[in-house]
Every structure is written in structure tokens, then in C-alpha cells.
Amino acid sequence: MRTLPASRLPSLVAVAAFAMAPLASPSATKTATFQVLATMVSDCTIMSAPNIDFGTLGVMTANTDTSSTLVIACTPGTPYSVALDAGTGTGSTITDRRMASAGGNALKYQLFRDSMRTQNWGNTVGTDTVGGTGNGGNIAHVIFARVPEQPAPAPGAYASTVTVTVNY
């Protein structure tokens, strides 16, 4: 076995100590920043537009009333109006809507903005629509519906599709 001279022993001890020492942490760091951006615009959406169902009807000797709730959501501060068209029944107008059967018969109905059923709900902004200002949440608007007294049409299923439009 070979022995090392005593003069080299301190150097080897220093090298061994250095090799076993933990690596030094960096002496400096760098940082940066970035932005997270979004632009909100005036916006509205129709959250729900449930069907209006008058149920089973027979002889029409009195008005049949029901209602449905339309839910709109608009960004805060956004003015809006909600319009309803005349529907798809042949001959329908805003004041005299009609549901149609497969046989071509018609059943009159009306849609109103008020519970007394005196203000038609139509599609002329500022005249017969319902409006408001968005608050960022859901806003409910009740559609008051009526099948007025009328001569009973032939038995069958009657339907009309009404389009809701939100103007903002």
C-alpha cells in the first residue's frame, strides 16, 4: 500500500470536503409581471322561455288564462327590451294570435304584458314590448296568456311558435 506524503493530506481533505458540501444557492433572482385582461361588453341572453300550455279545452264559453315566466340576463347597466312576434299560426297578428291544428283550423289566443290582460305584448320597441336594465343576474318577466271566449274549433292539437327577441 502506498502512503501519501503528509504535505498532500490537507489538500485532499479540502477536496473531499468541497465534494461533499451542498451546492451553493444562486446569488440573484429575476422576476417579471404580466397582466390578465378581459373586456366586458353590453350583452343579454334569454335564460329560459318555457312553453305556454292552456291544457285541455272544450266549449269556449269563458276566457281561459294562464301564464309563463321568461327569464332574461343582461350585463349591469345594459338597457334592453323584450319583444314577442305574432307566432306562426296562419293569420296571426300581435293583437289576434292564432294556434293552428294539422287540419288547418285555428284557435285564437293573446299574450299580454300585464296581469289584467289589457296590454298586448308585441314586437314594436317602445310601444308594446317589455324593457328594463340589466343587473348582471336573472330578471323574470311574466307572460300573461289568454284563450278568449270564442266558437270552439274542431277537436285536435293546436300550436303556435312565438319568437322572443331581446333588443339591447
pLDDT given for residue 155 in this prediction:
97
User: How many Å apart are CA 130 and CA 142, to the nearest integer?
Assistant: 10
pLDDT band per the 50, 70, 90 thresholds, residue 8 = low
Q: Which three cell numbers stand for residue 37?
A: 385582461
Residue 107's contacts (CB-CB under 8 Å, 6 or more residues apart) are 57, 98, 99, 100, 101, 147, 150, 153, 158
pLDDT given for residue 1 in this prediction:
54
> Has residue 15 got a pLDDT over 60?
no
Strand order in the sheet with 106-112: 44-48, 64-74, 138-147, 106-112, 97-101, 158-159
Please state the pTM of the whole predicted model. 0.80
Q: Which three cell numbers stand for residue 64?
A: 281561459
Q: What digits encode the pLDDT tens for the residues 76-120?
A: 999 999 999 999 999 999 999 999 999 999 999 999 999 999 999
Q: What is the mean pLDDT of residues 10-27?
A: 58
Q: Which residues are bridge partners to 80 per DSSP? A: 132
User: How many Å apart are CA 134 and CA 80, to the nearest integer?
Assistant: 7
Provide the residue type at 84 as one letter. L
